[in-house]
Amino acid sequence: MRKEVKEWWKQAKRDLITAENCKNSKDYYACAFFCQQSVEKGLKAMYIEKKRMFPGATHSLIYLATEIDMPSEFHTFLRRLTPEFVTTRYPDAAYGTPYELYDEDIVNEILKDSKEVLKWIGSQI
């Protein structure tokens, strides 16, 4: 595994741990944010592995997934998760205070699906 791939992949896995920690501390908005970050970094690791180049400054999970030929069964979740990198941080993007928009049920689903994505990526790189 190339150095760049290893670094992106290690950070993706660490961000998922951070997401779990945020869920456990009831910082649900932060859990959603770190799930998005984890999936994005995992997809970028695989992109770098497959294409031998950096994907650029994209946050589009569906773009990354398409470029690496990720199975379409993940695409619906990736479309829903993509905006979380903004919605979880900015009241004007969330149309409300981000920390008030998330609860345990919401992040349990996001976390479960994020783990499935990372599991698939891990089996491919």
Question: Distance between CA 124 and CA 13 in Å, rounded?
Answer: 15
More confident call, 58 vs 104? 104
- CB neighbours of 2 closer than 8 A, spacing ≥ 6? 48, 49
Return the pLDDT at 92: 85
The tokens describing 85, both together, are 């990198």
The tokens describing 41, both together, are 């970094």
The pLDDT of 11-16, averaged and rounded, is: 98
The pLDDT of 25-32, averaged and rounded, is: 98
Q: What is the pTM of this model?
A: 0.95
- Of 88, 106, 93, 102, give the one whose Cα is nearest residue 40: 88
Return the pLDDT at 1: 77
Return the pLDDT at 41: 98
Q: For 3-124, which CATH superfamily applies?
A: Nucleotidyltransferases  domain 2 (1.20.120.330)
E strand map for 7-119: none
Sole residue written with tokens 């205070």: 97
- CB neighbours of 91 closer than 8 A, spacing ≥ 6? 97, 98
Given pLDDT bands bounded at 50, 70 and 90, which one contains residue 23?
very high
Question: Distance between CA 111 and CA 89 in Å, rounded?
Answer: 18
| DSSP 8-state code for residue 98 | G
Given pLDDT bands bounded at 50, 70 and 90, which one contains residue 107?
very high
Domain parsing of the chain, residue ranges: 3-124
